Amino acid sequence: MVTKGNASLETTQLARPIVDWGLAAKRIRRALRAAFWYAVLSFFAVVLAMPLAWLVSTSLKTGAQTFVMPPKWIPEPIVWDNYSAAFRAVPFHRYFWNTIQIVVFATLGTLVTASMAAFAFARLRFPGRSFLFGLVLSTIMLPNVITLIPTFIVFRALKWINTLLPLIVPSWLGGGAFNIFLIRQFFMTLPYDLDESARIDGASNFRIYSSILLPLSKPVVATVAIFSFIHHWNDFFLPLIYLQDTKKWTMAIGLQGFKDLYSTSWNLMMAASTAMILPLLVLFFLAQHYFVGGIHLTGIAGR
Amino acid sequence: MIASLYISFTKWEIVTPSVWVGLANYARLIRDDRFFLSLYNTAFYVFLGVPLHLFLALLAALAVNLDLRGIRIFRTLYYVPSITPAVANSILWLWIFHPQWGLANGLLQSVGLKGLYWLQDPKLAKPSFIIMSFWTIGGQMVILLAGLKGIPQSFYEAAQIDGANTRQRFWKITLPLLTPALFFNLIMAIIGAFQVFTQAYIMTEGGPNYATLFYVLYLYRMAFENFRMGYASAMAWVLFTIILLFTLLQFRISDRWVFYESSLRA
């Protein structure tokens, strides 16, 4: 940013004021503006953090403490035991293990197949490309439910009900139109010159995809990976339909089952919910710099 | 190329209805009051919720795009709620909206207002879900933020040299270049909102008095509780048609307001 504050230095030496009032005023204005924005940002941060704070606070209360009006923020005594009680009540460790399997394999499948498809749609010319892309887009718009019933019938025919396969395999078949569309949108913003110069140097399509576009899209790929992870971790609808056997339950279904059993023990329910949210937060903080940090969509070093 | 062939193949397999059901299901749909009620509930949620949601997400994205010290902390704070699992989230908000001991009424009473019956009040149940959805604007905010970050700084510098003020820079550079991200979010939000399910399934089970019987919830019950797969499939196709029409309309309009760099080169 080139500020105009130094303009006075370039005027004649004689006319230079001893104190540059213009510059001082500018600094004060800038400080005030920053203060104003901090106030706005902080207010909404508090509003958005409140539910989570209340979640954790409730999870550490005794049963009696949860039924106090107005609500108390700081539980006394702090009851860590709610967590172990919740975990004793239902086998969350098993749900956790089931969920991890789904998440890892499904996310992997999504990344590989979605980025390839996105490359094809963003860069390759082949007959019927726009028609196919239209098809893919229309699958975004397919209510899950429309595919659900036929796929349910297919998976039942394959005897995959009550296995984790129906929750993993679809990710290896394109990784979802959502992700294809997202990665393609980002590929579209990368200048064609990059491909063209690589092509002149004799690079194949796969080479352009893997050595040029993909590395430049690292933040996007990371974003999709995280979206995918979160999606599968949080997914409720599909496990609800495919996993009737409690041994196969995921965290999401396990939590719902827990709610059915302990619907008035708000402190235990909040403890279980916190336990499900926590791994996501850890993941997010580990991957954050990748993900929210400077995303150069253009591939041009602008900053 | 192979991947896209691959996809087209799988979608084919998926879209093909496995069982042919005659028009009888559709005829019955038209006479089903509850079907129309669920459609109304869903439309309410979409048309009120989505625009507000997107607008708030845009404001949030602009705010966390400011060049201030510690802005990352705000980004994180705004984003975190949107990654909470729908299940955990639903249980949490069920507790927040608890008419007797909930946080929402606690706050209302602390400023001297009367508590409300949020989810138990047929008039308030849907708005409650919309309020709850504001908590998770982070997901859209991140996509919009990525779009903002993707705008080359040189554009702004050039504009500044040409003497454009902040407002002009926003309207002439930021907004036009953000349109692809906005468009993406709008499409996804509408499609997502049409399929609202988990919150209603867990929190209200469609009540009170069917006020939160959303389309997909009704469909789910038809398919997996009453095992009326044919009827549910018909419902699914109706929903698909509605969503498709909407999205086509969006794309039609998008030519007028969405800006792609590659379209300059075509």
pLDDT 10s digits, A58-87: 999 988 888 887 778 888 888 899 999 998
pLDDT at B22: 60
The C-alpha atoms of residue A62 and residue A50 are separated, in whole angstroms, by 20
pLDDT band at B238 (very low <50, low <70, confident <90, very high): confident
A70, A119, A185 ranked by CB distance to B109: nearest: A70
Q: Position A131: which residue type?
A: F
A140 vs B191: CB contact, 8 Å cut-off?
yes
Chain B residues in contact with A135 by the CB 8 A cut-off are 7-8, 11
Q: Which of A34, A303, A158 is nearest to B151 (CA)?
A: A303
Q: Give start and end residues of each alpha helix (H) in chain A.
A: 21-59, 63-66, 81-89, 92-123, 129-141, 144-157, 165-168, 177-189, 192-200, 205-207, 214-216, 218-234, 237-242, 251-261, 266-291
Residue pointed to by tokens 């398919």: B223
In B, minimum Cα distance to A250 occurs at B87
Lowest mean pLDDT among A175-189, B10-24, B116-130: B10-24
Residue pointed to by tokens 């540059």: A20
Q: Say which residue, A177 or A120, is predicted with more confidence.
A: A120
- For B188-200, what is the mean pLDDT? 90
User: CB of A259 within 8 Å of any CB in chain B?
Assistant: yes
B2, B14, B87 ranked by CB distance to A151: nearest: B14
Query: Average pLDDT over chain B, rounded to whole?
Result: 84
Q: Say which residue, A138 or A211, is predicted with more confidence.
A: A211
The angle that helices B138-149 and B33-64 make with each other, rounded to 10 degrees, is 40
pLDDT digits (tens, 9 = 90+) for A212-252: 888 888 878 887 888 888 889 999 999 999 998 989 999 99
Query: Are residues A168 and A186 in contact, defined by beta-carbon separation less than 8 angstroms?
Result: no
Q: Position B43: which residue type?
A: A
A141 vs B191: CB contact, 8 Å cut-off?
yes
Chain B residues in contact with A44 by the CB 8 A cut-off are 60, 63, 78
Residue pointed to by tokens 């939000």: B189
Task: Report CA-CA distances (Å) from B144 to A230, A294, B98, B179.
Answer: 19, 13, 33, 9
Chain B residues in contact with A117 by the CB 8 A cut-off are 3-4, 6-7
pLDDT digits (tens, 9 = 90+) for A109-124: 999 899 988 888 888 8
Global pTM value:
0.81
pLDDT at A7: 46
Q: Say which residue, B184 or B98, is predicted with more confidence.
A: B98
Q: Position B30: which residue type?
A: I
- Name residues whose C-beta falls within 8 Å of residue A157's C-beta, 6 or more positions apart in sequence: none
- Name residues whose C-beta falls within 8 Å of residue B250's C-beta, 6 or more positions apart in sequence: B183, B186, B187, B190
The C-alpha atoms of residue B212 and residue A37 are separated, in whole angstroms, by 38
- Segment 55-84 of chain A within 8 Å of chain B by CB: 55, 58, 66-71
- Name residues whose C-beta falls within 8 Å of residue A76's C-beta, 6 or more positions apart in sequence: A65
User: CB of B78 within 8 Å of any CB in chain A?
Assistant: yes
Taking 90 as the threshold, does the pLDDT of residue A263 lie above it? no
In A, minimum Cα distance to B60 occurs at A41
R_g of chain A, CA atoms, integer Å: 27
Shortest distance, CA B156 to any CA of chain A (angstroms): 9
Query: How does DSSP assign B108-132, residue by residue?
Result: HHHTTPPP--GGGSTTTHHHHHHHH
Taking 90 as the threshold, does the pLDDT of residue B52 lie above it? yes
pLDDT band at A10 (very low <50, low <70, confident <90, very high): very low
Query: Are residues B189 and B133 in contact, defined by beta-carbon separation less than 8 angstroms?
Result: no
Q: Position B51: which residue type?
A: P
User: CB of A183 within 8 Å of any CB in chain B?
Assistant: no
Chain A residues in contact with B135 by the CB 8 A cut-off are 48, 51
H or E element, residue B187: helix B175-194
Query: Are residues A72 and A267 in contact, defined by beta-carbon separation less than 8 angstroms?
Result: no
Query: Are residues A268 and A86 in contact, defined by beta-carbon separation less than 8 angstroms?
Result: yes
Q: Say which residue, A175 or B127, is predicted with more confidence.
A: B127
Query: Average pLDDT over chain A, rounded to whole?
Result: 82
pLDDT at A157: 81
Q: Which of A206, A227, A209, A205 is nearest to A217 (CA)?
A: A209
H or E element, residue B24: helix B24-30
- For B90-107, what is the mean pLDDT? 92
On the CB side of B116, CA atoms within 13 Å amount to 14
pLDDT at A171: 87
Taking 50 as the threshold, does the pLDDT of residue B14 lie above it? no
pLDDT at A11: 46
Query: Are residues B207 and B172 in contact, defined by beta-carbon separation less than 8 angstroms?
Result: no
Helix (H, G, I), strand (E, B) or coil at B100: coil
pLDDT digits (tens, 9 = 90+) for A35-59: 999 999 999 999 999 999 999 999 9
Q: How many helices (H) and strands (E) does chain B have?
A: 15, 0
User: CB of B154 within 8 Å of any CB in chain A?
Assistant: yes
Taking 60 as the threshold, does the pLDDT of residue A9 lie above it? no
* Number of residues that this document lists for chain A: 303
- Segment 207-246 of chain B within 8 Å of chain A by CB: 216, 219-220, 223-224, 229, 232-233, 235-237, 239-240, 243-244
pLDDT at A274: 93
Query: Are residues B29 and A153 in contact, defined by beta-carbon separation less than 8 angstroms?
Result: no
In A, minimum Cα distance to B185 occurs at A182
- For B92-113, what is the mean pLDDT? 91
pLDDT at B233: 80
pLDDT band at A102 (very low <50, low <70, confident <90, very high): very high
A51, A237, A291 ranked by CB distance to B96: nearest: A51
Taking 90 as the threshold, does the pLDDT of residue A15 lie above it? no
pLDDT digits (tens, 9 = 90+) for B212-224: 999 999 999 988 8
Q: Which of A114, A129, A229, A218 is nearest to A176 (CA)?
A: A114
Chain A residues in contact with B92 by the CB 8 A cut-off are 51, 54-55, 270, 273
